[in-house]
Amino acid sequence: MNFDFALIMTSIPQLLEGIGLTFQLWFLSAILGLLLAIALMLMRISGKWFLYVPAMVYIYIFRGTPILVQIFIIYYGLPQVEFIRESFMWSILREPFGCGILALTLNTGAYVSEILRGGVLGVPKGLGEAAAALGISKVQRFIYITAPLAIRLSLPAYSNDVISLMKSTALVSTITLLDMMGIARIIVSETYAPYEIFISLMIIYLILTWTTQKIFALLERRMNRHTIQ
C-alpha cells in the first residue's frame, strides 16, 4: 500500500474549513443541552410524579437509542408531520443545521441531566440540614450549597460528555452538513485515499479532545481548591 504523507499535510487545511461548523454544532448544542439537562434534573429530583415520570421517560428514550437514529428521525421524520411544517419550528427543522442542533441537544441533555443528578445526590445531606437549621430557605440552600458542590462533583463526568458530544457532531455529516467529517467524505470520494484523509481528521479531533481535557482539568483544580491536594 502506498501511504501518502504529503496528502495528510495538504488535507488538514481543507478539513479545517469545516471546523467552524463543528464548533457551532458543538458549543450551541452543549449550551442548549446543559439548560435542558438542568430542567430535566430539577424535574427528576422534584419528588412530584407528574414531573419526574416524564423526565425519566424522556431520559430513557434518548439514552436508550442510537443518536444516529435520533438524527434521522428528526431530519427525515419530523418534516412529514403537517403541524410541524406549519409551526414556527419549521424554520429550524427546514435546515439540516437546525435538525443537527436539535438532535445533539436533545441527546446530550438526557445524559447530562443524569450526570447532574448524580452530583446533587452526592452532596452530603448534613450540609443542607446545617443550612436549614440556620433558617436559610429551600431555594437558597439549593443555590448556595447544593448547586456549587454538585457542579464540582459532576465536572469530571460532564467533561466526558462534552468530549463525546464533540465527536457526535461528526454524525451530522450524514444529513448533508459539511462539517469536518462531511468535507473529509468529499475529499475521500475525490482522491480515493481514505486512510490519509481520515487520519488527518483523527489528528484534528485528538487535538480538540486534548485541549478540552486540559481546560476541564484546570477548571476542576480551580473549583476544588477548598480540598487539600
Partner 1 sequence: MNLPNPTPETVISLQDVDKYFGDFQALKKINLSVAKGERIVICGPSGSGKSTLIRCINRLEQHNSGKIIVDGNELTDQVKDIDAVRREVGMVFQNFNLFPHLTIVNNLMLAPRLVRNTSTEEARKQAMELLERVRIPEQANKYPSQLSGGQQQRVAIARALCMNPAIMLFDEPTSALDPEMINEVLEVMTDLAKEGMTMICVTHEMGFARSVADTVVFMDAGEIVERNTPEEFFNHPQQQRTQNFLKQILSH
Point out which residues bind partner 1 (CB under 8 A): 124, 126-127, 129-138, 140, 144-145, 148-149, 152, 225-228
DSSP state of 126: H
- Cβ 30 to partner 1 shortest distance, Å: 24
- Cβ 51 to partner 1 shortest distance, Å: 19
- Cβ 143 to partner 1 shortest distance, Å: 9
Q: Which is nearer to partner 1, 57 or 127 (CB)?
A: 127
* DSSP E strand stretches across the chain: none
Q: Which is nearer to partner 1, 65 or 140 (CB)?
A: 140
Q: Which is nearer to partner 1, 61 or 132 (CB)?
A: 132
Q: Which is nearer to partner 1, 20 or 156 (CB)?
A: 156
Q: Which is nearer to partner 1, 83 or 225 (CB)?
A: 225
Question: What are the residue ranges of helices labelled H in 1-124?
Answer: 5-16, 19-44, 49-64, 67-72, 82-86, 90-93, 96-122
Angle between helices 5-16 and 180-191 (to 10 degrees): 140
- Cβ 121 to partner 1 shortest distance, Å: 16
Q: Which three cell numbers stand for residue 163?
A: 468530549
Q: Which three cell numbers stand for residue 189?
A: 470520494
User: Which residues lie closer than 8 Å to 16 by C-beta, 6 or more apart?
Assistant: 180, 204
Query: How far apart (Å, rounded) are the C-alpha atoms in residues 55 and 47?
Result: 12
- Cβ 148 to partner 1 shortest distance, Å: 5
